[in-house]
């Protein structure tokens, strides 16, 4: 496979104003995508965005580039990433583009792509787009230029879709939920979904100003949500991230419930209803407690590389339906094609209602193993994981932990660091081993 210059594991992302997150690049990206996806023009592309102030700029640039390539554009305005995947399918568009940097601060932005099937683009299509980016931009003849229109009922379409992912006989009446929308793309749709299903919603993180997305709120900062749940006597809390594809929850006592625990809840609910459809896919970072709890219940568990893209790939390979990450990317392929925080939250709420058990009771069947991670900064060209001393230290730690623990050392895909992770049943042992391994990696540099 050719080397990528722009696309990472989840589209293209970076700091606004620094290459490639600039308006001129977005213009060329729109044109290149149009050329790669529909060389003859005449197709449609859906463009959505989160609430970052830079989204206006990039929306216009992408629109111009696609029009120059002869493609029409359907604009949704601020809308969650999974909603764009849905609308791409329902409008029979050749692609969907989301302008978002997910859980990152407002200074960042990026471009996520979906194909006509609502799935992330295959590698070969991303490489075709990169190949077109290397060519000079040439506008099609004036009579072939694309047009832009706005999908006026985009939010309503998505709200109805979300509501339809739980059965009609599951009522949320009487359930008090605190909802944190991270001042992001779900700030209008997620509250409507829950309220229309009967829940009483206390709303926080729903006043976007273009600069406050993910700022001290959302799935990466749940302290405010914890306090709101306890102060209001709510049944639970829901935290979404800036583009709405991640979910972290909080139980009535203010305890955070991460993606691994939510995946356990969803798996057990489907297992009880004989609707699991195979095994469950996590990642190399998924807590060992999740694997242990599922295997004890006879559920197969596989680990993919970090990234919801790789979870999705493994689900398709096995023909399974349920997977996710600790960070809260939860994929229910019996409901939608990609990670969707709102849809995943509804599945958890439906399980709670069906079983008449609180969120705290639902997660009690999984013991979370103590897990600690350290980052060791490295310079270009340094490969400490290849050093014999590191390999020996890892082997010794694994032998000490036995079947009750795991050791994982891996280079980060986003930072110049090596991540050192240890987990096991004994928290003191885990801390001692992670500190020892971190020192060994540092010395090996």
Q: How far apart are CA 113 and CA 420, in angstroms?
A: 31
Give the pLDDT score at 3. 72
* Same domain, residue pair 348 and 397: no
- Alpha-carbon distance of 87 to 74, in angstroms, equals 10
CB atoms within 10 A of CB 377: 12
Are 19 and 77 within one domain? Answer: yes
Q: Is 102 a catalytic residue?
A: yes
The residue among 322, 343, 368 that closes a domain is 368
Same domain, yes or no, for 224 and 302? no
Same domain, 84 and 115: yes
Residue 103 lies in a domain: yes
Domain membership of residue 434 (yes or no) is yes
Domain count, the chain: 4
State the Cα torsion 59-63-66-67 to the nearest 10°. 180
Residue 425 in contact with residue 370, Cβ under 8 Å? yes
User: Is residue 268 one of the residues assigned to a domain?
Assistant: yes
Q: Has residue 3 been placed in a domain? A: no
Gap between the Cα atoms of 13 and 309, Å rounded = 15
Same domain? For 250 and 262 the reply is no
* Residue numbers of the domain that contains 137: 12-152
Domain of residue 432, CATH code:
3.30.310.50
CATH number at residue 39: 3.40.120.10
Look-up of token digits 């111009």: 64
Q: Which of 213, 237, 256 is the last residue of a domain?
A: 256
Return the pLDDT at 414.
Answer: 64
Nearest to 277 by CA among 228, 231, 343, 335: 335
Q: What is the per-residue pLDDT for 136?
A: 97
Calpha distance 349→186 (Å, rounded): 18
| 150-199 pLDDT per residue, tens | 999 999 999 999 999 999 999 999 999 999 999 999 999 999 999 999 99
Q: Is there a single domain that holds both residue 245 and residue 264?
A: no
CA-CA distance, 310 to 9, in Å (whole number)?
9
Residues in a beta bridge with 58 = none
Q: Taking Cα atoms as reference points, which of 178, 167, 225, 82 lies closest to residue 351?
A: 167
Question: Are 192 and 64 contained in the same domain?
Answer: no
Q: Which two tokens stand for residue 9?
A: 């594991």
Residues 34 and 120 in one domain: yes
Q: Which stretches of the chain drop beneath a pLDDT of 70?
A: 1-2, 413-414
> Would the CA dihedral through 347, 170, 295, 422 be positive or negative?
positive
DSSP states along 239-303: EE-TTS--EEEE-TTS-EE-HHHHHHHHHHHHHHTT---S-EEEETTS-HHHHHHHHHTT--EEE
In a domain, 159, yes or no: no
Residue 415 pLDDT: 74
DSSP 8: B
Number of H helices, E strands in the chain: 14, 18
Instruction: Note whether 244 and 263 are same-domain residues.
Output: no
pLDDT of residue 263: 98
SS3 assignment, position 130? helix
Is residue 170 included in any domain, yes or no? no
- Residue 262's Cβ-side half-sphere holds a number of Cα atoms within 13 Å equal to 34
Catalytic residue among 102, 286, 326, 327: 102
Distant-in-sequence, close-in-space partners of 297: CB < 8 Å, separation ≥ 6: 268, 271
Whether 165 is covered by a domain: the verdict is no
Q: Would you say residue 62 lies in a domain? A: yes
Of the three residues 335, 368, 401, the one that is the final residue of a domain is: 368
Do 16 and 148 belong to one domain? yes
Is 213 found in the same domain as 302? Answer: no
* Residues 264 and 337 both lie in one domain: yes
């Amino acid at each position: 496979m050719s080397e990528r210059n722009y696309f990472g594991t989840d589209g293209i992302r970076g700091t606004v104003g620094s290459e490639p997150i600039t308006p001129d690049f977005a213009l060329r990206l729109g044109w290149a995508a149009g050329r790669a996806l529909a060389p003859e023009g005449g197709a449609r592309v859906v463009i959505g965005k989160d609430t970052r102030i830079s989204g206006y700029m990039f929306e216009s640039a992408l629109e111009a580039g696609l029009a120059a390539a002869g493609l029409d554009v359907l604009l949704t305005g601020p809308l969650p990433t999974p909603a764009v995947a849905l609308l791409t399918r329902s409008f029979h568009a050749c692609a969907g583009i989301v302008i978002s940097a997910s859980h990152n601060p407002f200074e960042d932005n990026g471009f996520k792509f979906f194909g006509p099937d609502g799935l992330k683009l295959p590698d070969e299509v991303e490489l075709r787009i990169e190949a077109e980016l290397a060519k000079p931009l040439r506008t099609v003849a004036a009579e072939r230029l694309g047009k832009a229109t706005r999908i006026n009922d985009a939010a309503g379409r998505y709200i109805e879709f979300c509501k339809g992912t739980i059965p009609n006989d599951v009522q949320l009446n009487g359930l008090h939920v605190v909802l944190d929308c991270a001042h992001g793309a779900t700030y209008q749709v997620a509250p409507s979904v829950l309220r229309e299903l009967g829940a009483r919603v206390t709303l926080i993180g729903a006043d976007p100003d273009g600069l406050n997305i993910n700022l001290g709120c959302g799935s990466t900062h749940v302290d405010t949500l914890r306090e709101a749940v306890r102060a209001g006597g709510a049944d639970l809390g829901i935290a979404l991230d800036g583009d709405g594809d991640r979910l972290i929850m909080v139980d009535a006592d203010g305890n955070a419930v991460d993606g691994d625990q939510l995946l356990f809840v969803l798996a057990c609910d489907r297992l009880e209803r004989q609707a699991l459809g195979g095994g469950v896919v996590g990642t190399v970072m998924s807590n060992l407690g999740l694997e242990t709890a599922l295997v004890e219940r006879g559920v197969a568990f596989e680990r993919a590389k970090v990234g919801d893209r790789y979870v999705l790939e493994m689900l398709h390979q096995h023909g399974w339906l349920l997977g996710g990450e600790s960070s809260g990317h939860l994929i229910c392929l019996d409901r939608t094609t990609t990670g969707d925080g709102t849809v995943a939250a509804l599945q958890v709420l439906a399980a709670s209602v069906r079983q008449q058990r609180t969120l705290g009771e639902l997660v009690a069947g999984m013991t979370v193993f103590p897990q600690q991670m350290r980052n060791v900064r490295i310079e270009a060209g340094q490969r400490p994981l290849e050093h014999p001393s590191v390999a020996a230290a890892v082997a010794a730690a694994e032998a000490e932990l036995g079947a009750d623990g795991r050791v994982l050392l891996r280079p980060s895909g986003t930072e110049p660091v090596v991540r050192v992770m240890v987990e096991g049943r004994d928290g003191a042992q885990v801390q001692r081993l992670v500190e020892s391994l971190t020192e060994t990696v540092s010395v090996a540099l």
